[in-house]
Structure 1
Amino acid sequence: MTKPTIDELVDLMTLEEQVSILAGEDFWSTPAVPRLGIQKMYVTDGPNGARGGGSLIGGVSAAAFPVGIALGATWDVELAQDIGHAIADEVKSKSAHVSLAPTVNIHRSVTNGRNFECYSEDPELAAGIAVGYIKGLQGNGVSATIKHYAGNESEIERTTINSEISERALREVYLRPFEDAVKKAGTWGIMSSYNKVNGTYAAENTFLLTKVLREDWKYDGIVMSDWFGSRSTEPTVNAGLDLEMPGPTRDRGEKLVKAVEEGRVSRDTIRTRALNMLRLMERCGSLWDDKEFNEIADNRPEHRALIRKAGAAGTVMLKNEGTLPLSKSAKVALIGPNAKDAKIMGGGSAQLNPHYVVSPFDAFADVLGADNVTFAQGCTNHRWEPVLNGDFTVEFYDNVTLDGSPVHTDKMDAINAFWIPPLGGGKVDPAAFSARISGTYTPSETAAFNIGAHAAGYFRIWVDGELVIDAWGDKWIKGRTFFEEGNDEVVASVDLTEGKAHDIVVEFGSKKADNLNFGALRVGISRPLGDAEIAQAAETAAAADVAVVFVGRSGEWDTEGSDLENIALPGRQDELVAAVLQANPNTVVVLQTGGPIELPWMNDAPAILQSWYPGQECGNAIADVVFGDVDPSGRLPQTFPQHWNDNPTWSQDPEIYPGLDGKVRYEEGVMIGYRHYIKTGIKPMFPFGFGLSYTMFDLSDLSAEPTELGATAKVTVTNTGDRPGTTVVQLYVGDIEASVERPERELKAYKKVTLAAGESQEVMFDLDQRSFAYFDESVKKWRIESGKFAICAGFNAEEIDHTVEIEKQDDLLDL
């Protein structure tokens, strides 16, 4: 029997059926329409993998790919496409049809907690990587959902804050990746952000959802809300929001049917929204997909190889005075909190349960032999106490005060829970339940330990019958954890005895949510480290041929829902690095962060690598670069300032950042990232686009010619060293005679090139008319002004040795 077309199908649906598919049925799916054979559509997080339809913690394992900033650091659109294609395989392994990715918000500040998940401070680099990623996903039959549209460049009050952004800055910077995702990649999905943009929530912002998307860009996909990001019925539907997530619906269903019946929403609007949803279902294969839902761990060797390749490709060599690459016959001391504990991803909705993890220690021991590798941790860098693992029993109560008997009992292997429906065996209301967790902890030494906890809900903790932490009722204070629904960690010191099983009891009670509806709890424990451990690390380093220090942050710091308070290395890591450098000057420092950091010891370090969070092959990817098996071809997608207050959003006016009284003002306009440093003359520690290789490169013979479509440019790149290597040729454009303030130069094209020793290659670039235009708010068009333009070629934004000029004529360009 021939299936109806989606245009026929939408007209076969009743109003109630059309409305039903405009909201989620549960956390990760939309409802079926059995009468017409329409099947459920499943979605999954996230940008660096496919977690599947479970909680943020645990669940079926999945491949963990490098995070967004690491992918941006590759400057490799083809590699991004390969990763998108592979993640589509992962999405299918979780029986899903839609990936909630990629994340393309711009690195506006250096402290945004979600910088790790985004690609770059530069809109053209972010757009190029996004286009590759989306083409890979959708070319393999899985829908992308590019996010967060728009103005979500901070995690502070992100669900309510009003981002005030000029239309010029929106068009030239913050909307650019979304524009190319629509026009060049043909994305099937877009996710609206939580925040307001110029006074109106993004999910009901007619300018963004209808004027820009549908009218200017001719978008024919769907727009879904971020989770609980829809706050109204007819305003969202009329503005252009197709899908409210998650379910069960809060704003649609019977409310929306009533709005139609009362004339507040037209039937044509509902038909359009439903048709958009059916089009998405048809594109991603869910429309008639009646296969049984089944999530599997599909641990593919080709994915493992791709993750390792991408992790190495995104590694940036920031400094090398001849220490690197290391000899494979060296005796190496691995130092630091990230040496044995692999940091592979950021926190929040992007996190998943990896198939496996390769630590740097594991990888170096494999290369050198275990006898040639020593280790000392030196210090900690955790934000929260390490998770308390063990055998625990959890009892669920169908009230918030642990009254009566438990209605369900379960087991936990760690006190780390993110509770979404169904939970408690389906016997408790996720918004009104309590739980008691009990078990024991046996320390390996006698000492004072720190026990810490935070929760989206109230909690109390007893150790051996003594109440040590009480955050119940008015003793609970809202903080920056669990997507701004949790408190900041409360820590208590407890004296524990080696070999003794200490009784642990934790009580939890859910509380009314501010914005996002879930319960969560995390309890951790550890013995604090001090001077003795730093001294021991220095001694270990001194006894080796070379020391490699692994420092940085983790997904506890670089996380959705919370910005950083500064860009210093957490804890005593700077002290550790300084002590190791003094003990063994032959030291390599490997950084793992989701963005820039201050490096007070930089002048003393002979070699520094930035390896971000490179996914489950973390140790192998880093080792490939350290030992010279792979040329370090990563280039910085974000400028590293010398000091936190050098960055573009630093101001004495808190409205500019982090925001004040519910408003954040993008006062810098288009002068973001490297444009700010060039304009102000502030010298960064490492400029945008910077990165070293194990060989040397030179540019020559830059030329450019104007054309009707823009301009063509070409430049010759030569490997002047004695080994093969890879570099990124970067092309910038500047309007020399602009009548309005414009950046001195803006990245407009780039190409990654691999050359043998002594080899040269001519690199060609085609620049379109938009490469020379700015957005003229007075006429709402892109304008090219008559006059001279500089076309500059270089290896980073600061070091430009080759410039040619061309002339362009006045022109107004269509949107």
Structure 2
Amino acid sequence: MTAQTPPTPPFRDTALPFAKRIDDLLSRLTRDEKTGFLHQFGPAVDRLGVAAFRTGQEALHGVAWMGPATVFPQAVGLGATWNQELVRRVGEAVSREARAMRARDERVGLNVWSPTVNLLRHPLWGRNEEGYSEDPRLTSAIATAYTHGLRGDHPVYWRTAPVLKHWLAHNNETDRDTCSGSVRPRVLHEYDLRAFRETVEAGAVAGVMPAYNLVNGRPNHVSPHLREQLRGWTEQDLLVCSDAGAPSNLVDSEHYFDTHEEATAAALRAGVDSFTDHGTDSSVVIGRVRRALEQGLLTEADIDAAVRRQLSVRFRLGEFDPAADPYAGERAFDTPEHRALALEAAEQAVVLLRNDGVLPLAPDARVAVVGLLADECKLDWYSGGLLHRSTPLEGLYERFGADRVEFAEGVDRVLLKTSAGTFLHVPPAPDGPGTVRGAEGTLDPALLAGRTDLPPLSTDAAGTELALVDWGEGVLTLRAPDGRYLSVAEDGYVRASADQPGGWVVQETFRLEPHGDGHLLRHLGTGRHVQVAADGVKVAEQNPEVFGLVVAERGEDAVTRVAARADVVVVVAGNDPHINGRETEDRTTLRLPAQQELLLGAARAANPNTVLALVSAYPYALDPADLPALLWTAHGGQAAGTALARVLAGDVSPAGRLPQTWYADDCDLPDLLDYDVIGSRQTYLYFEGTPLFPFGHGCSYASFSYGELTAEVDAATVRAGFTVTNTGDVTADEVAQLYARAVDPSVPRPRRELLAHRRVTLAPGETAGLSFVLPLSDFAFRDVAAGRWRVEPGPYELLAGASSEDVRARATVILEGEPAAPRPVVERGLDAVDFDEQRGTEIVDRTRTAGDSVTPVAGEDGELLFRHCDFGTGVTEVTVEVSGGGTVEFSLDGGPVLAALSPRAPTPGPYDYTTLRASCPVTAGVHDVRLRLRGPLRLARAGFSG
């Protein structure tokens, strides 16, 4: 008898639609198997032939954390290109390398956690490098391009599955897991949600990751907007992956729920589908889910919904159809095309901020290259390892020849003298000096922080001269002559063992603290002081060494020496992405570190032909008045140095544009935790001061003229067009930008708002005609009185030009729109959060699951203003829904208090609301309503009746 082949289960049948296949697979899984899928590291189900699956692979500007890969410019640098097609190709290259790497290492995931679409609202945010722009439209345009590249172009299967970070309104590292942003509805819809929405609606997003912070008093991991907004933007299943450790934060640091079972159930019901918590140990999370089921906090249907969304992503990735997956054989890794693309992206990211004619450099120029970043190719927390590297110094050597380029890093060279009269000594590396970098710049795995098999530092009579690098705010790194950074391993000993500062907790940073006639040397990673012991130099709680600082050479002296001999000086300044501004750490100032300002001043004094090239993850505030030329680029990945050298030499005309405002001073900035971009006039949209450099700014080696701006309005669109002509003598790119502003708005609107842009390449004398079709919805605002988007009738000015402030052509269009109507407060009442103006209040959660209330800022009286409220034929009673204790005072049109409502006793808890009533005759007609909040209460809404 011939054995019969078992029938193919429907979930393996490629002829069936994914929905039916998922239904079949779900029906075959036991409850415990489905529950196991809820952790980031989902186990295999061997009896069904279902493999293990891990959500999450970092891929912000290259495949990260999994070894060497092509490293492209940081995300903010990709944003500075203003070039969607380029960014799409970068996303495609990253996803191809992810597939190729997975083919040889199954730990490489295809559910990629990128891009970051949080808006660069505040330039002191530590993760500025991870976002694209302060503008929601530019952010969504770049993010959409990147996700399309990551997804691939097959109609069914995806090369990788991108997840957007971080939902929602996330712009601070300070207290990021406990602080709450107060985000009014207009800001929420017009600003923070917009970048997510437009990217999701473009169709290449697999899901989102909630942020650590709270919004309006509620943790993002239980955000009702996941259900109410996100999943309404597309019919496609979207996977929501928690951030690392955030599910536990709901209880442990945020104290939002009393038990982890309640928290886990609430997050799952809110829409979180995959829990990234407790590393690879899934037992903690799965135990919480099982207990939540037992306690009736969850149903199996809740689990099915989450697992269904996970399986939807896995099917789209081709996991269950290996023979049909068009990307299964992808092997493109570190190809010539990817290397060329890394260079192209780095070139396009360079922004020329000003140029008085010193650039491009003359072909026979003698160049001095100085500064802390001059011979560095820095990585960040979300970079892969370098396969190739180029520093600005190396790029200029290659372009001009080593005989015409002279280098001075500009750091102090010091000896650290002990109280015994000896000096710190760095033992030689086991393989001798010069082994820090391997072939083609790859990191030598024998010299990584954390090693304990290298000899610790010791002391001797001669000592070792160390490079003391001052990164600002007293944060130092110390480097041996062969390039190794001093680092502290888990055993507490100080060794020269790191190629670069890095790691989740940086172990390569120190601070010199004055003590008597010398200094204590504090290690910042452990918080302990350095001690000289018989068995080597270590960090310890007791007996710190008091060091004398012997300066062998000052950095500014070296800069002065080489600058005086050169025709032109290039000062390369900026930041190390792991120090003074990164994930977990916000910046405290826009200023350049004092040591770098000192070096810049020394170069200027020695040679007026000084060019400042800033290589940084964020903007700075500085005085460019006597600088002949100033450039900025984000850390540009493996080709950064070559790209910068080619721009300086004129091989490439720079055309990067600022993706965010550069402010002139710290006093121009709002508080880091003030998320109300409208009320506090933030970003180019609302800022009324004079920026150092405006949003969209960037210069060129060519010049461009703009023709007349024409505009036509039809029933659904505005059609705008203009010409751009290269009036210079070199081929160059121009980034033409189109903005709009409401001429006479009834509510605060942006000073100008980006609607569209186009990056075009033009030869000398060449003209390009640019046309844009703009839906009328581009001119809408969120009308809080009506609870929806509305295009206001009236004139709108269109502005075409080279930046948000460099306007070259204007046109005015009249839009019919929908006239404003008074608030029908008798029929609808007033939700407290829908105010027009406020003073001294913040928005908080109405309940743990949904809604908003308003409360006074602690220690202040709060005030809410609602304009144009229609009381119909008049009312006789006012009601308020409040919790807590305190008083709500009601007045009209700036007049006296007409009613004061207070509960007899405070309510039991913040979510226990009571309705208060007061007689209060209000005459017929339209009035402005003012509600003053006194004391520790929460106001949910007010109502009026006759």
The 3 A distance-change label for structure 1 pair 667 and 771 is closer
User: Is the 8 Å Cα contact of residues 213 and 219 (structure 1) preserved in structure 2?
Assistant: no
| Structure-2 separation of matches of 1:529 and 1:288 | 66
Distance 1:571 1:41 in 2: 49
Tell whether 2:569 aligns with 1:547.
yes
1:447 to 1:354, Cα distance in 2 relative to 1, 3 A? closer
The residue number in structure 1 matching 2:644 is 622
- Asked if structure 2 preserves the Cα contact closer than 8 Å seen for 1:342 and 1:358, the reply is yes
Determine whether 1:560 maps to 2:578.
no
Question: 1:468 aligns to what?
Answer: none
Partner of 1:13: 29
The answer on 1:125 being equivalent to 2:160 is: no
Measure the CA separation in 2 of the matches of 1:636 and 1:625. 16
Alignment correspondent of 1:220: 237
Give the Cα–Cα distance (whole angstroms) in 1 for the partners of residues 337 and 727 of structure 2.
34
Q: For 1:271, give the aligned amino acid.
A: D
Counterpart for residue 239 of structure 1? 270
- The question of whether the paired residues in 1 share the 8 Å contact of 2:200 and 2:233 is answered with no
What are the superposed Cα offsets for residues 708-752 of structure 1, whole Å, 9 maximum, x if unpaired?
A: 222110011111112211111111111112211111211111111
Aligned with residue 793 of structure 2, among 786, 794, 799: 786
* 1:335 and 2:352 correspond: no
SS in 2 for 1:145: strand
Given candidates 97, 100, 110, the residue that maps to 1:93 is: 100
Provide the C-alpha distance between the structure 1 equivalents of 2:819 and 2:63, rounded to a whole number of angstroms: 43
Alignment of 1:162-561 (within 5 A): 162-205=180-223, 207-218=224-235, 220-231=237-248, 232-246=263-277, 247-249=280-282, 252-287=285-320, 298-343=333-378, 345-346=379-380, 348=381, 350-379=382-411, 413-414=446-447, 416-417=449-450, 439-441=455-457, 446=464, 460-461=492-493, 489=510, 504=536, 506=538, 532-557=554-579, 558-561=581-584
Aligned partners of 2:80 and 2:87: how far apart in 1? 11
- The sequence identity of aligned pairs, in percent, is 30
Once the 2 structures are TM-superposed, how far is the Cα of residue 501 of structure 1 from its aligned partner? 14
Distance in 2 (alpha carbons) for counterparts of 1:553 and 1:318: 18
Tell me by how many angstroms 1:351 deviates.
Answer: 3.0
Q: What's the CA shift string for 1:580-620, capped at 9, x where partnerless?
A: 122112222111111111223x1111111112111111111
Displacement of 1:533 in angstroms is: 2.5
Cα distance change on mapping 1:730 and 1:530 into 2, 3 Å? farther
- The 2-side partners of 1:463 and 1:364 are apart by 33
**Aligned match of 1:472:** none
Structure 1 residue 223 displacement after superposition: 0.6
3-state DSSP of counterpart to 1:265: coil
Partner Cα separation in structure 2 for residue 454 and residue 379 of structure 1? 16
* Letter paired with 1:6: I
Q: Are the equivalent residues in 1 in contact too, given 2:75–2:132 (CA < 8 A)?
A: yes
Residue from 167, 174, 190 that aligns with 1:149: 167
Higher relative contact order (CA 8 A, sep 6+): 1
What residue number does 1:33 align with? 45
Contact kept, 8 Å, 1:23 with 1:243, in 2: the verdict is yes
1:592 maps onto 2:601 in alignment: no
Return the alpha-carbon distance in structure 1 between the equivalents of residues 680 and 788 of structure 2.
16
Maintained 8 Å contact 1:75/1:635: yes
> CA separation in 1, counterparts of 2:100 and 2:540?
34
Deviation string, structure 1 residues 649-685 (Cα, Å, up to 9, x no partner): 2xxxxxxx244xxxx55364584311233xx2x1111
Q: Deviations over 1:486-545 (max 9, x none)?
A: 9984558699xxxx9996465799xxxxxxxxxxxxxxx999878733122112111112
SS at match of 2:559: helix
> Residues 65 and 383 of structure 2 are in contact (CA less than 8 Å); yes or no, is this contact kept in structure 1?
no
Name the structure 1 match of 2:472.
none
Q: 1:162 to 1:32 in 2, by over 3 A?
A: same
Q: Do the aligned partners of residues 370 and 380 (structure 1) sit closer, same or farther apart at CA in structure 2, a change above 3 Å counting?
A: same
- Give the deviation of 1:707 after TM superposition: 2.3
Quote the offset at 1:644 in angstroms: 1.8
Which region of structure 1 is more displaced relative to structure 2, 758-767 or 295-304?
A: 295-304
Deviates further, 582-591 or 233-242: 582-591
For residue 311 of structure 2, what is the amino acid of its counterpart?
L
Residue number in structure 2 paired with 1:652:
none
* Structure 1: runs of 5 or more not aligned: 54-59, 382-387, 393-410, 418-434, 465-480, 510-524, 650-656
Corresponding position of 1:612: 634
Q: Please tell me whether the aligned partners of residues 458 and 537 of structure 2 are also in contact (alpha carbons under 8 angstroms).
A: no
Distance 1:270 1:301 in 2: 46
Match of 1:725 in 2: 732
The separation in 1 between residues aligned to 2:730 and 2:358, in whole angstroms, is 16
Aligned pair in 2 of structure 1 residues 250, 34: CA closer, same or farther (>3 Å)?
Answer: closer
Q: Is the 8 A contact 1:90 1:298 kept in 2?
A: yes
Write the distance in 1 (CA, Å) between the matches of 2:495 and 2:447.
Answer: 16
Is the aligned partner of 1:108 residue 2:121? yes
Give, in whole Å, the separation in 1 of the partners of 2:682 and 2:24: 48
> What TM-score do the two structures reach when normalised by structure 2?
0.69
TM-score normalised by L of structure 1 = 0.80
Select the structure of larger CA radius of gyration. 2
Alpha-carbon distance between aligned partners in 2 of 1:296 and 1:803, rounded to the nearest angstrom: 50
Find the aligned partners of 1:120 and 1:462 in 2 and give their Cα distance: 40
Change (3 A) 1:761 1:438: closer
Q: Using the TM superposition, give the Cα deviation of residue 764 of structure 1 relative to its aligned residue in structure 2, in angstroms.
A: 0.5
Work out whether residues 458 and 508 of structure 1, in 8 Å CA contact, stay in contact via their aligned partners in 2: no
- Cα distance change on mapping 1:595 and 1:124 into 2, 3 Å: same
Letter of the structure 2 residue corresponding to residue 761 of structure 1 = A
Q: Provide the residue aligned with 1:475 in structure 2.
A: none
Q: For structure 1, which segment, 772-781 or 527-536, has the greater mean C-alpha deviation from structure 2 after superposition?
A: 527-536
The one-letter code matched in structure 1 to 2:396 is F
Q: 1:603 to 1:368 in 2, by over 3 A?
A: same
Output the CA distance in 2 between the equivalents of 1:184 and 1:797.
Answer: 26
Q: Structure 1 368/128 Cα, relative in aligned 2: closer, same or farther at 3 Å?
A: same
Counterpart code for 2:296: G
| Distance in 1 (alpha carbons) for counterparts of 2:672 and 2:98 | 35
The separation in 1 between residues aligned to 2:506 and 2:81, in whole angstroms, is: 34
